[in-house]
Amino acid sequence: MSHIIYNGFYLAHPYSGLGVFTRELLRSLLTANTRVTVLLYRDQPTPDFLPPQVTILRSGHLPGRLGILTWEYFWVPKILQQYPDAHYCSPYSHPLPPLTRTGKILMVQHDALFFSESSYTKKLSRRMYQHAIRRTILRPEVQLGTVSHFSAQEIKKAIAYPDDIIILHNGIEHLHNETLLSKEEIQERFQIHGDYLFYHGGYDQRKNVETMVHTLQPLLSSHNVTLVLGGGKLHNTSLYHLPHEKHNVINTGFIDNSTLRSLYHHAKIFLAPSSYEGFNINIGEALMEGTPVLMSAIPVHTEVWGNYATATSFSNSTQLEQAIVSTLSATHKKKSTPPYTWNALAKKVLEYFRK
């Protein structure tokens, strides 16, 4: 098989879901003894897991948004033309001019929000960028992948995508080999007194974190339980609002993988209140640690996690309290692990390229 040109742009964003997807898919492709050339943006550091024999190509040093546009419109196409037989795998969809080449092109669009939610594309520049992506992924030489059947349906509706979309579920086991810290160490580091509920993920409006915090306030006090909010704002815009610390609510900020695994592991419950997701990898990370999960009753949660987690309302205080109290009082055994692995994802990618 021809070798793969891999877009490593989001390796520079390790705290984002796209960053995790980009890193772990690349790891698994390399494990499969695949010949990979990794494209890195500007001066981003070389990931420490890349073996010496991997070819790394870096773009130039234009600043800011101009640098990103140059990367996508000119530099990546130039590389692809230099390797006409190589397949191209991009963990995110981006504009790409028409190219004359024989290698296949696979791009992953993780959800339909960018095309269907106006609040994400209010600016003219973002609408133009969206239009350019739409034109790219509708071309017959570009194969689109996504992370759930729900996302595939939503994308098809949003952009009238005419062909089949490859379902490429995220893996969920990437934290499981990280060092597990003791509960006492975690409690001391973040000043957590007693048991805690845990949330980890984004803070844009669709995540419903602020609604969850408001709904949980009476329960946190009456049951002497702490709510720990992991992570931070990835973008400094009005879409991303990190709630201020309140009584029995602790914000950790961005944390390393060992700490993240430990917070999942020692939590009494993991909470997933989002109103829209493409996959929601955080639920899988919690389930890998045997932690009970309460999730919002949205279609993708039902599809991907319905056999492993419990759906509830995060806006109805009575229903949420009942679900939490019931979960806290139950005797839990480690649930069966969902069948989503990074090796399985890499296998599906390679199967497509080998056709």
DSSP string over 273-308: --S--S--HHHHHHHHTT--EEEE--HHHHHHHTTT
Distance of CA 204 to the CA centre of its chain: 13
3-class state of residue 329 by DSSP: helix
pLDDT tens digits in sequence order for the chain, 355 residues long: 579 999 999 998 888 899 999 999 999 999 987 799 999 988 888 888 898 889 999 987 777 777 888 889 999 999 999 999 999 999 999 999 999 999 999 999 999 988 887 766 667 778 888 899 999 999 999 999 999 999 999 999 999 999 999 999 999 999 988 999 999 999 999 999 999 999 999 888 899 999 999 899 889 988 889 999 998 876 665 555 667 667 789 999 899 999 999 999 999 999 999 999 999 999 999 999 999 999 999 999 999 999 999 999 998 989 999 999 998 887 665 566 788 999 999 999 999 999 8
Q: What is the pLDDT of residue 266?
A: 96
Q: Is 306 exposed, middle or buried (0-12, 13-18, 19+ CB in 10 A)?
A: middle
Distances (CA, A) of 30 to 23, 53, 107, 177, 184: 11, 11, 18, 18, 37
Distances (CA, A) of 220 to 79, 81, 169, 183, 251: 54, 58, 34, 19, 15
Q: In terms of residues, how long is the chain?
A: 355
69 is written with which tokens?
Answer: 């546009």
Beta pairing class for 166-167 and 55-58: unpaired
CA angle 284, 294, 290 (to 5 degrees): 45
Q: End-to-end CA distance of the chain, in Å? A: 10
DSSP letter at 140 equals T
Element (H, E) at 196: strand 196-200
Residue 7: closest CA among 352, 318, 349 = 349
Q: What is the pLDDT of residue 204?
A: 86
156 is written with which tokens?
Answer: 């098809």
- Per-residue pLDDT tens digits for 179-202: 999 999 999 999 999 999 999 998
